[in-house]
Amino acid sequence: MAPPKNAAVLVGDLDRLPADFDLSLWHRRPPANHALRRLSIHGDTSAEAILRELFELQATAVVFLGLLVPEAVLAARWAGLRVVLVLDEAE
């Protein structure tokens, strides 16, 4: 089953997502079939691997949870995806 378009994709540790994190605050118009999906990158955290899977999922938004790959963040923004970074204060 193919994921819905306009999916928001999580990259990184799901435990870092705050309990009160509200996607509607940053996603302009969440569609009816809006889905929050976790990206499985199988240990490969290169920008190329992350972007390849984002495009396969037809993502329109991505949330980086503690995993910061600057090249992937920049490329996702360049590709028109909405990007949110959720980092620890120490990061």
> What is the pLDDT, as a whole number, of residue 31?
40
pLDDT at 49: 77
- Please indicate whether residue 73 or residue 2 has the higher confidence score (pLDDT): 73
Domain assignments of the chain as residue spans, ordered by start: 7-86
Handedness of CA 70, 76, 80, 34 (dihedral sign): negative
- CA dist 14 and 38 (Å) reads 8
pTM above 0.75, yes or no: no
CA 88 to CA 80: how far, in whole Å? 25
pLDDT top residue among 80 and 25: 80
What's the pLDDT tens digit per position in 29-83? 444 334 445 555 555 667 787 788 778 777 777 777 766 677 888 888 888 888 8
